[in-house]
Chain A
Amino acid sequence: MLDDKKDDIFLSRWINGELSKEELSEFQSHPEYEHYVKIMAGADALDLKSYDVEKELYAIKSKRSLKKSGPVINLWPYFAAAASIAIILGLFFFGPNESFSTDYGQKLIVALPDGSEMTLNAKSIASFDKSNWDNNRTITLEGEAFFKVKKGSKFTVTTKNGEVSVLGTQFNVNSHHSLFEVNCFEGKVSVVNNKKKEILTAGNAYRNLGKTYEKWTFNESTPSWLTNTSSFRSIPIRYVLKELEDQYNIKIVEKGLNLGYKYTGTFPNDNIEVALQTVFSTLGIEYSLSQDGKTVVLEK
């Protein structure tokens, strides 16, 4: 009954009063029964030290305002001048542009004016012209984002590495430094890169890295980073290190590692210990994380 491998939730059911009459009376006549009753009685007498919610909230608010008040006081004499400059710059340079960015380890879902959806991965910037959206569905991207596009006029994502345009579909664009990767999850997209044009249908991916161009197929229906996993397919290790840095806000220090070494694998975006271990143990690299959790040093 207790050590029965088939019933590995027996005691949980007992606590919840879910045992049948027969089961319960059998258990009650078991010599172990009173010991478990005592454990439960003891455990139910335990309590935690009290928690002063108001005091804690007050502490948070004072810490919060501490951070804010510094620069405001310093800048006060220049405030009026600075404000007017900002407005003028805004009028001339930014126009009605809407811009979104994410920091280390963040994701951001943006609803676009037509109901299309953009999800930004960590350390990415995207902007678009809100006022002219109906005529010109164009987004400028630096970093990585996943798009679910409502059917309509041409939808274009511009990056410094190339352009992706579609009519209505779901696709992922990753443009970091000279890496340019597009995965099409639904419908059809056209990719223009270095004056070459590629048409991708659902389940097809395209990558340009320096002088190499690759195409392959995949089965996933959404990019893995949406569910907090970064995954890589035969990619130079420098991009894996970069992604670790972007997801966890860490600095990776390496000495003489071959950054061109190809890596295939995944790591979680919500558990730094597991992530570091997964990546570096498979590569046979020893690493150490600094006390403050900000720096990872790789040993050869």
Chain B
Amino acid sequence: MSNKNSTCDEKKFDRFFKSHAKLLRNYIYYKFGDLEQAEDIVQDAFIKLWNNCSKVSLDKAKSYVYTIATNLGISITRHQKVKFKYQDYVIRHKTDINNESPEFIALEKEYMQKLKNAIADLPERQREVFLLSRIDKKTYKEIAELSNVSVKAIEKLMHKALLTLRKKIGNI
């Protein structure tokens, strides 16, 4: 049953892993809120892919690992409310930050904390879309393909996410 598209081919499996694992980790983290756990889930999903490689062709592999990983996330978090751990991500160091006055940096720090809190409090789908767009720089079309919905639905979620964030942050 071996064919060209088999994920049993070690080289193909490796290449597939390298091109998809990171985004899958991020996606699972945005959904379930725990980065370390997301990395474990990604490992388990890809091990499952390997064990079933004869049944999952390369073109089906992406949706396979996303489904497995999402289901694993659901089964792990089933009994607890998802608490998004925002300390799992970092603020990129901007080169121009040293030019700012100390007060301004302090305000920024406070603002960023508020923003991270507000993102953590977003409904799951809004957070997922917002962060895939901002952190992973995915287009609406790419995000829509990941979650099997229309581009329009993603645009609505993005719009809503911004409105929600704006409300949460208030005037600072």
Write the residues of chain A forming the contact surface with B, with a CB cutoff of 8 angstroms: 2-3, 8-13, 15-16, 32, 35-36, 38-40, 42-49, 51, 53, 56-57, 59-60, 63-64, 67, 102-103, 106, 108, 270-273, 289, 291, 293
Q: Are B55 and A271 in contact (CB under 8 A)?
A: no
Q: Are B163 and A53 in contact (CB under 8 A)?
A: no
CB distance from B93 to the nearest CB of A (A): 9
Q: Are B39 and A56 in contact (CB under 8 A)?
A: yes
Kindly supply a per-residue 1/0 record for chain B positions 100-117, scoring 1 wherever the CB is within 8 Å of any chain A CB and 0 otherwise.
Answer: 000000000001100110
Q: Are A49 and B169 in contact (CB under 8 A)?
A: no
Interface residues on B, range: 35 or more
Please tell me which one of the listed residues B26, B71, B91, B165 contacts residue A39 in the complex, with CB atoms under 8 A apart.
B165
Instruction: Kindly state the separation between the CA atoms of A59 and B169 in the bound complex, as whole angstroms.
Output: 40
Q: Are A47 and B166 in contact (CB under 8 A)?
A: no
Contacts of A39 in B (CB 8 A): 115, 162, 165-166, 169
Contacts of B162 in A (CB 8 A): 11, 15, 36, 39
Q: Are A46 and B89 in contact (CB under 8 A)?
A: yes
Contacts of A270 in B (CB 8 A): 67, 71
3 cross-chain pairs, A with B, having the tightest CB-CB distances, nearest first? A293-B75, A9-B155, A12-B155
A11-B158, A48-B135 known, 8 other contacts, Cβ within 8 Å: A12-B156, A15-B162, A42-B111, A47-B89, A47-B90, A59-B43, A106-B52, A106-B55
Instruction: Kindly state the separation between the CA atoms of A40 and B139 in the bound complex, as whole angstroms.
Output: 15
Q: Which residue of A lies closest to B154 (CB)?
A: A12
Please tell me which one of the listed residues A36, A60, A293 contacts residue B43 in the complex, with CB atoms under 8 A apart.
A60
Contacts of B78 in A (CB 8 A): 273, 289, 293
Chain A to chain B contacts (Cβ below 8 Å), 5 pairs = A2-B163, A11-B163, A45-B94, A48-B90, A272-B75
Contacts of B115 in A (CB 8 A): 39, 42-43, 46
Instruction: Kindly state the separation between the CA atoms of A10 and B162 in the bound complex, as whole angstroms.
Output: 10
Cβ of B4 < 8 Å from any Cβ of A? no
Instruction: Kindly state the separation between the CA atoms of A93 and B133 in the bound complex, as whole angstroms.
Output: 57
Instruction: Kindly state the separation between the CA atoms of A216 and B131 in the bound complex, as whole angstroms.
Output: 49
Q: Are A53 and B88 in contact (CB under 8 A)?
A: no
Q: Are B47 and A60 in contact (CB under 8 A)?
A: yes
Contacts A46-B91, A51-B22; A272 near B71 (Cβ below 8 A): yes
CB distance from B116 to the nearest CB of A (A): 8
Contacts of A51 in B (CB 8 A): 21-22, 25, 39
Contacts of B43 in A (CB 8 A): 56, 59-60, 63
Cβ of B12 < 8 Å from any Cβ of A? no
Contacts of B119 in A (CB 8 A): 43
Contacts of B152 in A (CB 8 A): 9
Instruction: Kindly state the separation between the CA atoms of A102 and B26 in the bound complex, as whole angstroms.
Output: 30
Q: Are B17 and A53 in contact (CB under 8 A)?
A: yes
Please tell me which one of the listed residues B18, B29, B169 contacts residue A48 in the complex, with CB atoms under 8 A apart.
B29
Instruction: Kindly state the separation between the CA atoms of A40 and B91 in the bound complex, as whole angstroms.
Output: 13
Contacts of A46 in B (CB 8 A): 89-92, 115-116, 131, 134-135
Contacts of B75 in A (CB 8 A): 272, 293
CB distance from A284 to the nearest CB of B (A): 21
Instruction: Kindly state the separation between the CA atoms of A38 and B169 in the bound complex, as whole angstroms.
Output: 11
Contacts of A11 in B (CB 8 A): 158-159, 162-163
Cβ of B84 < 8 Å from any Cβ of A? no
CB distance from A283 to the nearest CB of B (A): 20
Q: Which residue of B lies closest to A291 (CB)?
A: B79
CB distance from B92 to the nearest CB of A (A): 5
Contacts of A16 in B (CB 8 A): 140
Q: Which residue of A lies closest to B67 (CB)?
A: A270
Contacts of A8 in B (CB 8 A): 156, 159-160
User: Which residues of B from 119 to 139 have beta carbons under 8 Å from A?
Assistant: 119, 130-131, 133-135
Q: Are A45 and B91 in contact (CB under 8 A)?
A: yes
CB distance from A155 to the nearest CB of B (A): 21
Cβ of B146 < 8 Å from any Cβ of A? no
Please tell me which one of the listed residues B26, B46, B52, B155 contacts residue A60 in the complex, with CB atoms under 8 A apart.
B46
User: Which residues of B from 61 to 100 have beta carbons under 8 Å from A?
Assistant: 67, 71, 74-75, 78-79, 88-92, 94
Q: Are B17 and A57 in contact (CB under 8 A)?
A: yes
CB distance from A60 to the nearest CB of B (A): 5
